[in-house]
A and B are shown apart, each in its own frame.
Chain A
Amino acid sequence: MKKVLLATGLSILMGGTAMAQEIGATISRFDDNWLTVMRNGMTEHAASLDGVSLQMEDATDDLAKQIDQVRNFVASGVDAIIVNIVDTSAGAAVTEAAGDTPLVFVNREPDNVNELPPTQAFVASNEIESGTLSAFQVCNNLRADGKAGGARGYLMNGQLSNQAAVQRSKDVHDIIGIDMCNFMTLIDEQTANWSRDEAQDLMTNWMSSGEPFDFVLANNDEMAIGAIQAMKAAGMDMADVQVGGVDASQDALLSMQAGDYDVTVFQDAFGQGSGSVDTAIALAAGQSVDQKVYIPFKLVTPANMDDFLDKN
């Protein structure tokens, strides 16, 4: 599994940390909350390693600027570069700009991920896991609630143009398709554009038809919270409905603590950041590294939510 790959990846590079390493990193934007946690993961992990220095630049969502930053890193002779790419369809341009200097793509998957030269790698979480983990846990909870004879519910999609949204919705359909969970049926699925207030209105519209339902699955926490707010406003008991989302945001965890929210999934920002530094060091030392390093998503339920309250 991916954990094994990661573990081997990490153990390989223990030898490479002895000599001085300079790493340059460019992040698509510094003001993004989640990316900031990832950035802190990179900084803290680099500081904990002997002889590793990390220089961080903000690409301010400007691809041309980011490619120039990569060229500047190459010109000043860094040992490795980490790129959180602004535009995932520009992977080839970034790959070319790096030349022979080892390069690690982090978090966002470049379109050329399958054609990377041996000096480059990709570190992220596998998007297929997130929607699957969340939907499967909701399926298990419904079984535990004695609803294995048949459960009906709704699915809220993120922006229809967004790859993660499309993937997460597909994961839900896949889970509903497996034997163990095929007692679940979708009454309807609609987009609420990742947004809490649109999700409130969508949920209220659904409820106005008066059809009974047992679960609501959303592509992210914000929409799940919007659905919960709408259901509570309509006087529903949240113990009767399973709600699943993705992100493990602060708002979501506090909603879970209040007993309203059932399942979410944590994308390990800090882990992706430190993992990208480790992979960059291994590449710089000339070690062969798995070209796709996956940091696992983690399932969050009321049982383990306290571990995540101060993260992301």
Chain B
Amino acid sequence: MSDTSHGTGGLTFDKSKRSWPNEMNVLFALIIIIVVFEILGQALPYMKDQSFLFDTRGRFDSIFNEARLKIIILQVAIIGIIALGVTQVIITAGIDLSSGPLVAATAMIAMSFGQTELVNGNPNPKAIFGPWAMDLPVIFPVVIGLTFGAAIGAINGTFVAYFRIPPFIATLGMFLICRGIALWWSAGRPVSFPTESYKFIGSGMMPVVWFLSLAVLFHVILRYTIYGKHTYAIGSNEEAARMSGINVRRHKVMVYMIASMLAAFAGVVLSAKASTAQAGMGEFYELFAIAMAVIGGISLTGGRGSIIGTVLGAMVLGVIRSGFTFIKLDGSYQLMAMGSIIIAAVILDQYRQRSRA
């Protein structure tokens, strides 16, 4: 790959060297996909001239179908939170496969401390601990969940940075370990019936609020702080970064910890949204999170990519998923089409890179 040929080694992330920000391409792709669904809604005989994004039946105050706009982003918000973390990991030329099972394990653990004692007057049939763990303030499950995530991330990062295990292998191992923890925690039984304050974390559009505020936060951090500059530097040229005095190993551990804490938080939000935690949750989330970053134009060889790109990549997946349901496409075709779109995104991006070099 020729990622470093057009950059400056990443130490001073010079925007002026880029004639055409990569994010613009993703935005165009997003618009094109929306237009395609809009046309299909008019053209397909069984669709009765429905509009994908616009309100044609006077249901809303604005010209848009607000319900559709909401679900497009709501359904990708939780995986999007994971994608914010995996974006940072991939920028350092790493990968994190453990996030999906970590979502499940954290959901189980956190909700065990966020259960309510009485459900419509009956004792909670899914209680994990005794009354001492019931109806705790919501800060307890959240902090416990994030602490668990931080610990998993620290282990991932330590193996990658200090034991020099390839990130793919280290996080693949953690993938299995976390799924095991999720199954072991309550012997496979679901953990249900959280307190109202726990439910609030995932109610309504709250997942989107979390996703977008965290996106803004990490956009600023990656763009304007030392942490961000070091992250790009390590991904562009790890040796050069070391030579210039960056503590590469410590920094990598930090990046993996942040990624895992974001995945753990996603687990809390997911279990709050569903009002249940189950060991099988978060299946394929790690892959969709990586797909969001890839569609957003990240380079798996490191040094290139951005939070804005990943957020747009998440939007592309959200539009596709809603669009497929809109045109009533069968589930099996949906998977085929989604896979093709991910591959097409990478081919287009590589073609663009090569033609510019």
Chain A residues with CB under 8 Å of chain B are 29, 31-33, 157, 160, 188, 190-191, 193, 195-197, 200-202, 204-210, 222, 226, 229, 233-234, 250-251, 254, 257-258, 309
Contact = CB atoms under 8 A, between A and B. Distances in A.
Contact of B74 (A160, A196, A204, A206): A204
A201 B75 contact: yes
A251 B65 contact: no
Given A31-B183, A190-B325, 20 more contacts: A31-B188, A157-B331, A190-B330, A191-B331, A195-B281, A196-B274, A197-B78, A197-B273, A205-B75, A205-B321, A205-B325, A206-B325, A208-B68, A208-B71, A209-B50, A210-B59, A233-B204, A250-B126, A251-B193, A254-B122
A207 B67 contact: yes
A234 B66 CA distance: 12
Contacts of A200: 273-274
A204 B70 CA distance: 9
B122 A309 contact: yes
A33 B279 CA distance: 12
Nearest to A187: B328
B274 A229 contact: yes
A195 B330 CA distance: 17
Interface size classification for chain B? 35 or more
B188 A229 contact: no
Given A196-B274, A251-B192, A208 B67 contact: yes
Contacts of A229: 274-275
A204 B125 contact: no
B274 A31 contact: no
B143 interface: no
Interface string B153-170: 000000000000000000
B237 interface: no
B315 interface: no
Nearest to A159: B331
B281 A197 contact: yes
Interface string B266-287: 0000100111101011010000
B343 interface: no
A251 to B, nearest CB: 5
Contact of B120 (A188, A207, A257): A257
Contact of B328 (A32, A188, A208): A188
Contacts of A254: 119-120, 122, 125, 193
Nearest to A157: B331
B94 to A, nearest CB: 28
B309 interface: no
B120 A258 contact: yes
A2 to B, nearest CB: 30
Contacts of A193: 283
Contact of B276 (A207, A209, A251): A251
A195 B71 contact: no
Nearest to B41: A209
Given A33-B188, A251-B190, A210 B57 contact: yes
B71 A33 contact: no
